[in-house]
Amino acid sequence: MTVVTRFAPSPTGRLHVGNIRTALHNFLFARRHGGRFLLRVDDTDRERSTAEAEQAIHADLAWLGLHPHDMVRQSDRFALYERQFEQLRAAGRIYACYETPEELDLRRKILLGRGLPPIYERPEGENTPVEGRAPHWRFRLDHEQPIGWDDLVRGEQKFDPHLLSDPVIRRADGSWLYLLPSVIDDIDLGITHIVRGEDHVSNSAVQLQMFAALGAEPPRLAHEALLVAAEGKLSKRLGAVGVGEMQERGLEPMALLSLLARLGTSQPVEAVADLEPLAASFDFAHFGRAPAHFDMGEVEQLNARLLHAMPFAAVAERVPAWVDEGSWSVLRTALDHVTEIDAWQEVVQGDLAAPDLPAEDRAFLAEAAALAAAVDWSADPWHALTDQLKADTGRKGKALFKPLRLALTGRESGPEMAPLLRLIGRKRSLARLEAGART
């Protein structure tokens, strides 16, 4: 069996961490098993779906590196849905309903007031048409057919069909709701595994009967625990964290994907430079049922780790022209985001203002300038200079290194000074030490 998974977003906005995680896990599972990952654009909601949002989904997936093998658009498949709808209707599995939303709401309240579950009370036969009112349509659940499956994350699942309402599958205006078209697509596209959030568990229960009614074997199901904010509460904020914010922050896509691949599992979260090792280790057996805590701070930390080891080829088209492979290898260790490298041009090539230092540090820098003029700059001038200064002045630790770093870079922290000093060069370094001694 060839594994086939699908990611099915609605084109109503950009991708956020929740559906990025779903897309990633479908992608990784298919990749691990040498299968196919499909994109299905669920654009049956004509009022909310836009072409711009669909284009954004394609762009976001491309930026993340989650390239589908193929894509379909539900709005192109209405004829297929119509044929299957009529087949189910002829078999008595779909029936017309004429209640208004207000009537249904009143009926639910009456049932709740009696201490009963608010389940739709289906008629014994067909609903009586109401003049001037178009029907909506429900799928008739088989109350004698038990519902159950072995979920790849949640284990054995069982539902009593008597406790489920016959789901509405089509509105009175003829538009489709999610449930039936999704099943028809999964059958037609040969989907073997459905990976989605645990908020779809009850949807899966009724959809399993739809697969059976259409004479199809259902896919394997994996319902993952939902993401929650780091503080442990469900957060609307998570809906805003996504590709747009990642790009605005200047973050690497693999920083987010490295976290989302392992979040909620027993595996360690590591900064991974590409998707292959994540796919090779992806296994639903590692996932627990507890909520997965998402923290943007972890993405930032992973981003820094990725940058500190990132080869120049991976950023060459995204950094300024003055940055070459040598300067990148030195400066990357000081970066949290690629865009921060702009600020280091002044350090490497500019004329820095001398720091305001106490008299004893200025005297120390005067001695450093004299020694720096004499050391061999073709080898390791930083260690040659600091070793001699330590021997001559008795300074060590912060007292030794801080005034030198301030004078040479204008900063109290940054990349390792030995390679950075060679990058700054002899002439500029001597001038900065001499300027620091005079202020």
Contact 169, 236 (CB under 8 A): no
CB 203 within 8 A of CB 194: no
Is residue 236 a known part of a binding site?
A: yes
N-to-C CA span, the chain: 75
DSSP character string of 192-257: -EEEEEGGGHHHHHHHHHHHHHTT-PPPEEEEEPPEEETTSS--GGGGT-BHHHHHHHT--HHHHH
Give the pair of three-digit tokens for residue 50. 């836009």
CA distance linking residue 290 with residue 153, whole number of Å: 11
**From the CB of residue 28, how many other CB atoms can be counted at a distance below 10 Å?**
25
Do 426 and 369 form a contact (C-beta atoms < 8 A)?
Answer: no
Distance CA(299)–CA(227), nearest Å, equals 14
Radius of gyration for the chain, computed over Cα atoms and rounded to the nearest angstrom: 31
Compute the Cα dihedral for 104, 108, 110, 116 and give only its sign.
positive
**Alpha-carbon distance 380 to 67, whole Å?**
46
Looking at the DSSP assignment, which residues form a beta bridge with residue 293? 228
Task: Please say whether the beta carbons of 415 and 336 come within 8 A.
Answer: no
Positions at the binding site for ATP:
236
Going by the annotation, the residues of the binding site are 236
